[in-house]
């Protein structure tokens, strides 16, 4: 992501961050403050902030006028850049499809902002604030409802009170602004270990552990949100390794990492797979690693007794068999095109795909993407060697927080029974 310093105020810098997918301005404190909260605001019109339509000088003046009243407060404020037609669709109409698009867009911005801040040694608190005005009230209500156990409203006056004197803060004259505050409901390392052991007790034969990443392109909303929350709580790859270490003190259940290749690359391939081998990780699933580039990590992984699990999606028979013939560990068969998430039905001709794979490989075949009900589990269990469930598990933890052990055991037990029918 390209980073451009636009200008400096007395206590904050204003940056412009952009790549092919998202762009945003961010006001970052650089004096006096040990830590900060990330805040974000939707504006009704972005034309005056568009660098493709205005000179840098014009945009800079607009940003200074917009941000200057915040300079005396410990506030990190993001101004995302949207096309006006997107804002028009969420301003008045209850457009669920566009709401979800904006939600994911904001999630990517939060992740990139977090990484930018931590890279610049700015400590980020867990809470995230979203400033909204009445123009986007319907969207804000949907957003609050969507994150109902982690979000509350907070007036702008309350926020400024939290960050020092507010006697000269002129925005308090607009009481219709609210802040949406993200609460910390994610399980701790200890709770995560507890949940892994609970799922094994209930019948899980293999458990995926996710390493958070800012741009999980293959994931649906549930797991995207989990990545956002994990990154917001400063979860690192070493934290995930610590979870594995604690789990391995209690059980030998097979464990595989679900991670995009970027975190592995930045950790260092040799260092990453050596640690996987030392701690007893059995495999790695990397959705954004094409078959053609698998060789980049395959030899290093196998030398540390870690299988690089192949994913096979509905495609041509020739490509299916090419990937399957080179696979190790087990084969992850993608049930349907698109992203992960809970689906009401699976329409892909899975039996035909499984037959094509079995013609060239004796490895176990596990089907994933979209499976969440015992009925789906039972049907797929009749033709596959294993069933992979992700989003439904994450959703249970999201809903129950630190009290998810029993609900997880009940769900896993029901799915295990269905799979064996």
Domain boundary assignment for the chain: 2-182, 189-419
Contact 331, 312 (CB under 8 A): yes
- Confidence band for 99, pLDDT divided at 50, 70 and 90: confident
Note the pLDDT of residue 165.
37
- Which range is most confident: 27-36, 55-64, 133-142, 360-369? 360-369
pTM of the prediction? 0.58
Q: Is 212 left (phi over 0), alpha (psi -120 to 50) or beta?
A: beta
pLDDT of 131 above 50: yes
Those residues whose C-beta lies under 8 Å from the C-beta of residue 249, and which sit 6 or more positions away, are none
Q: Give the burial class of 295: count Cβ atoms within 10 A of its Cβ; 0-12 exposed, 13-18 middle, 19 or more buried.
A: exposed
Degrees (nearest 5) of the Cα angle 152, 161, 182?
A: 25
pLDDT at 349: 78
Q: Would you state the pLDDT for residue 184?
A: 43
More confident residue, 123 or 24: 24
Q: Share the mean pLDDT of the chain.
A: 79
**Among 164, 154, 10, which Cα is nearest to 74's?**
164
For the cut 70, the answer to whether the pLDDT of residue 166 exceeds it is no
Cα 96 to Cα 100: distance, rounded to the nearest angstrom: 6
Pick the residue with more confidence: 310 or 84?
Answer: 310
Structure tokens given for 328 = 């190790």
**Which among 188, 212, 215, 28 is positioned nearest to 123, based on CA atoms?**
28
When pLDDT is cut at 50, 70 and 90, the band that residue 154 belongs to is: low
Q: State pLDDT tens for residues 332-388.
A: 998 765 444 343 344 467 889 999 999 999 999 999 887 888 898 899 999 999 999
Q: What is the per-residue pLDDT for 148?
A: 56
The topology under which CATH files domain 189-419 is: TIM Barrel (3.20.20)
Check whether 161 has a pLDDT greater than 70: no
Kindly tell me if the per-residue pLDDT of 163 is higher than 90. no
Amino acid 277: pLDDT? 97
- Give the mean model confidence (pLDDT) for residues 385-395: 89
Best CA proximity match to 5, nearest among 63, 53, 52: 63
Least confident of 42-46, 68-72, 175-179, 303-307: 175-179
């Amino acid at each position: 992501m390209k980073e451009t310093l636009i200008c400096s105020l007395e206590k904050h810098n204003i940056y412009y961050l952009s790549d092919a997918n998202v762009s945003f301005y961010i006001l970052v404190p650089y004096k006096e403050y040990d830590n900060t909260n990330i805040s974000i605001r939707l504006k009704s019109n972005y034309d005056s902030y568009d660098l493709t339509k205005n000179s840098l000088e014009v945009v800079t003046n607009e940003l200074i006028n917009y941000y200057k009243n915040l300079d005396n407060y410990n506030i990190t404020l993001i101004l995302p850049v949207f096309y006006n037609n997107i804002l028009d669709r969420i301003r008045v109409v209850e457009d669920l499809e566009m709401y979800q698009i904006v939600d994911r867009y904001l999630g990517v911005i939060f992740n990139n902002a977090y990484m930018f801040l931590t890279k610049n040694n700015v400590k980020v608190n867990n809470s995230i604030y979203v400033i909204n005005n009445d123009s986007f009230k319907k969207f804000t209500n949907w957003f609050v409802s969507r994150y109902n156990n982690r979000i509350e409203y907070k007036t702008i006056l309350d926020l400024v009170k939290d960050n020092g004197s507010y006697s000269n803060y002129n925005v308090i004259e607009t009481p219709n602004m609210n802040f949406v505050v993200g609460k910390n409901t994610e399980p701790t390392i200890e709770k995560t270990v507890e949940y892994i052991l609970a799922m094994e007790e209930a019948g899980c034969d293999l458990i995926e552990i996710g390493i958070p990443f800012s741009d999980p392109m293959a994931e649906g909303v549930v797991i995207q949100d989990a990545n956002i929350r994990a990154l917001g709580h400063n979860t690192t790859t070493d934290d995930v390794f610590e979870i594995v270490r604690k789990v391995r003190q209690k059980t030998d259940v097979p464990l595989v990492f679900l991670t995009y290749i970027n975190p592995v690359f930045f950790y260092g391939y040799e260092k990453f797979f050596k640690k996987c081998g030392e701690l007893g990780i059995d495999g790695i699933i990397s959705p954004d690693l094409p078959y053609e580039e698998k060789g980049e990590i395959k030899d290093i992984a196998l030398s540390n007794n870690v299988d690089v699990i192949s994913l096979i999606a509905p495609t041509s028979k020739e490509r299916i068999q090419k990937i399957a013939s080179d696979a190790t560990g087990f084969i992850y068969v993608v049930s349907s095109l698109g992203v992960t998430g809970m689906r009401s039905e699976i329409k892909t001709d899975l039996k035909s795909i499984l037959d094509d794979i079995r013609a060239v490989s004796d490895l176990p075949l596990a089907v994933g993407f979209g499976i969440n009900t015992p009925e789906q589990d039972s049907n797929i269990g009749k033709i596959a060697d294993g069933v992979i469930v992700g989003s439904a598990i994450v959703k249970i933890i999201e809903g129950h927080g630190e009290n998810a052990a029993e609900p997880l055991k009940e769900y896993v037990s029901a799915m295990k029974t269905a799979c064996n029918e």
